Amino acid sequence: MRRVVVDTDTGIDDAHTLLYLAGRPDAEIVAISSVYGNCTEEDATRNIGVVTGLLGLDVPVARGAAAPLRGPAHIAGYVHGKDGLGDLGRDRPLPRVSAESGAELLVRLAAEQPGELDLLALGPLTNLALALRLDPELFTKYRSVVVMGGSGPYAPPGTLLMIDANVNNDPEAARAVFAAPRRELVMVGVNVTAGTILDEHAIAALRARATPVARFATGILDAYLDFYQNEWGRRIIPLHDPLAAGILLDPSFATAWAEGPVNVRGDGFLHRARLMRTHDGLPPAFPYEPAPGTRVVTAVAARRFVADFVEVLTR
């Protein structure tokens, strides 16, 4: 059983992730903190309330960062809809929230239950960086920290990668996270999530179910499908955040790993978190910052995970 604290910028795939975690018999959602990213922090909090209300889930919810450590927030309304859940016009009242901030919640829970909880980060890493300012040893108190973000090792020459919004939205926070001491830090990056596809067949299987969870999961999909059809010419989506949850619960979904220091580097256009290794396992041809080892997922059993995701959401 994994007892999971979720930090989320609750957009469409984040909502799917909460549904997936709640449907797995080996997972318990312990608390949720909100952060900006797919939508504003307030919308992320409202969307947490929508999902927990659907699930009948009563857990602490804390409001987190509304902007990066420096600069304004970039909000991905063009991907998830302005409200983060596809702009369907549903009523989304603010849920009951904790008096503590998202960062304070992450610190308190780790101190109260050291070694018992897993932290799953699905959005920009601002809350985690703020929590590390409060407790620099924070990650040593979580059983594991799993980050949906990063780009894996350097890709083979000529390979194009999807933008990793979670790192790019707050590179300073990401640097703090990947430099922090930890028990186990796992990076599930766009190098593996981009190829884990919920295709037309899987979406049809979800639409065929009449359960409230399946109806909700497919009802919020259109904005996401609209965006990704411009990537691939098909109405399909990658399961970015759900895959990170799947690997947290069942590490066998990751079929290959590499371990080593991760640095956040900018190229004048965007920032990426990368394992400081080339695609063939060599160090990069430039100096880099030393950092504790991060477990970096380099290959996944995508088909098996997608089948599990659909099965959980259609029970």
Task: Give the residue numbers marked as catalytic.
Answer: 240
User: Please, which residues have CB within 8 angstroms of residue 67's CB and are 6 or more apart in sequence?
Assistant: 36, 73, 126
Residue 74 DSSP code: P
Greatest distance between any 2 Cα atoms in the chain:
55
Nearest to 51 by CA among 81, 90, 101, 79: 90
Asked if 309 contacts 260 with a C-beta cutoff of 8 angstroms, the reply is: no
Q: What separation in angstroms does the CA of 165 have from each of 16, 35, 108, 174, 223?
A: 18, 13, 28, 11, 17
Helices of type H across 149-198: 165-168, 171-179, 190-193
On the CB side of 70, how many CA atoms lie within 13 Å of its CA?
A: 5
Q: Token pair for residue 31?
A: 């608390």
Q: Token pair for residue 127?
A: 């809350």
User: Residue 252 and residue 264: Cα distance in Å, rounded?
Assistant: 27
